Structure 1
């Protein structure tokens, strides 16, 4: 097995639901990466075998009590078994691999759900372009910037006003549109206009400085080219999601190497003090 490059995971801040005392954990994975479902629960007494199932119907892997795995139904990229402890690594995940993965222990008294994940595989978002449509200015002290934030299948417009080097966005809030699970935003941060396209696992940005656009227009009526970023380590991080969101955003660039990174999602032991 390839060594892991980075340890990242996205989990809910609040449980989606409970089944037999087990929290269903949402996990978001970038297309092409590996996902380790790490078994970290106590086996019930009298266990005959442990199954990893998808969508409650298809048994992917069956483990003997000794921990030896038997693949019954392969996934798109196959499996790895890094440890003899009922853990499963899903390889090279694709969108079609999205679903609910559950570990079920078969006992003499019936099946017992041990762990459950709602896995969503997403591809990288497409690049964005920040376009300055028009600059209205009567003096070097103030201007109105009319911009478009555009991706291949969506766009949003917004207006920014700068007076004496202090800039604000019309309406006071970021402009946003959501399509196909991805969010397109244009907003102001420290006098920088940012066009951001993001989903749960990846983002791209195009940005420019509002003050500079105003001064460039006043001085020479020319607008400098924007700079497009796709590495979140080199740009201002994407804005936080709505405070009511149950998911954490893991910004990550498209992998530069052919080796997928591994994301660890750990099965937590059930809270035995909770009601079933």
Structure 2
């Protein structure tokens, strides 16, 4: 992998290039990669990944398109915008994608994309102590896959948010009607909602505070 990054560095050093662009895509979905720069007299477009595998070539003069395995059945190319769409993306497709744009000038242009393929987020779980009475505090927990927020509910509470190391975000929000637990990642989100008066009867003149 270090050698591949060194080769990529040499390629970028010798050509014009744009900053690395991050793209997130859900497993099984499609991702569109757009050219950041288009030379006035386009000759060739060459796509490769960080494994130095050819992905797609386009010879503009002859309108010749060539796709390479394992992408040959998963590519859609727009001959007007020159954008490349990769379909049915899998986690093994994650990595750097480099497009070299050759025009009439002697200096090629390089765009670099970091594509991250991730699974749809799991549904969060909102657990409420339904045994509480009007004279008791109502404790509940908003849980994601590897993070959680525990709180004490009375008549409402402030919004809270926790982010995990792998960019999953857990959000808690509640009012006099609902307790809402939202779990998301860069490609999806899901919510668990509980109706307050059905699960947690509380005094209306109290407030919510974070528990230890």
TM-score, reference length from structure 2: 0.70
Cα distance in 1 for residues equivalent to 2:72 and 2:148 = 36
2:23 matched to 1:27?
yes
Cα distance in 2 for residues equivalent to 1:144 and 1:76 = 60
2:126 matched to 1:130?
yes
Whether the aligned pair in 1 keeps the contact of 2:128 and 2:139 (CA below 8 Å) is yes
Q: Return closer, same or farther for 1:175/1:80 CA change in 2, 3 Å cut-off.
A: closer
Higher RCO (CA < 8 A, seq sep 6+): 1
Aligned residue in 2 for 1:197:
183
Aligned residue in 2 for 1:75:
71
Matched length:
187
Aligned residue in 2 for 1:231:
none
Counterparts of residues 10-159 of structure 1 (less than 5 Å): 20=16, 22-39=18-35, 41-43=37-39, 48-55=43-50, 57-66=52-61, 67-75=63-71, 78-83=74-79, 86-106=82-102, 109-113=106-110, 115-133=111-129, 136-137=132-133, 139=135, 143-151=136-144, 153-159=145-151
Q: Return closer, same or farther for 1:135/1:161 CA change in 2, 3 Å cut-off.
A: farther
Give RMSD over aligned pairs: 3.2
Q: Return closer, same or farther for 1:127/1:25 CA change in 2, 3 Å cut-off.
A: same
Cα distance in 2 for residues equivalent to 1:88 and 1:175 = 36
Aligned residue in 1 for 2:152:
160
Whether the aligned pair in 2 keeps the contact of 1:77 and 1:92 (CA below 8 Å) is no
Whether the aligned pair in 2 keeps the contact of 1:55 and 1:101 (CA below 8 Å) is yes
Q: Return closer, same or farther for 1:82/1:116 CA change in 2, 3 Å cut-off.
A: same
SS at match of 2:39: coil
Q: Return closer, same or farther for 1:92/1:76 CA change in 2, 3 Å cut-off.
A: farther
Q: Return closer, same or farther for 1:50/1:193 CA change in 2, 3 Å cut-off.
A: same
SS at match of 1:154: coil
Per-residue deviation at 1:137? 4.1
* Regions of 4+ moved over 6 Å: none
Q: Return closer, same or farther for 1:41/1:176 CA change in 2, 3 Å cut-off.
A: closer
Per-residue deviation at 1:189? 5.1
Cα distance in 2 for residues equivalent to 1:157 and 1:128 = 11
Q: Return closer, same or farther for 1:74/1:121 CA change in 2, 3 Å cut-off.
A: same
| 1:105-145 Cα deviation digits (max 9, x unpaired) | 246735321x3322222211112221113654454xxx522
